Structure 1
C-alpha cells in the first residue's frame, strides 16, 4: 500500500509527468555596429541594389 504522503499513484499505462525544463538564461543581444538589423537568413535571389 503506498504511503499517503507519496501523492497519487500513476495509473498503469501512463507516463509520469515530465520534469519542467529549465528556463534558458537570458543572454544580452550581441553588440554589433550600428545600422539596420540584418535578416536571419539571406533572401533567395540576387541581393537588392
Structure 2
C-alpha cells in the first residue's frame, strides 16, 4: 500500500498533468465499458 503523503508537500505542474491524464484515462475506460460513449454521441447528435 502507498505511504501517506505529507500534506505540506506541493505537486509540480508535471505531476499534476500526469495525475490528470491517468484520471481521465481511467474515466474513459469505465465509460467505454459501460457503453456510455454511444449514448453521448446520440445526445450530441440532437443538439
Higher Cα radius of gyration: 1
What TM-score, normalized to structure 1?
A: 0.23
Q: Which has the higher helix share?
A: 2
Which TM-score applies when normalising by structure 2?
Answer: 0.23
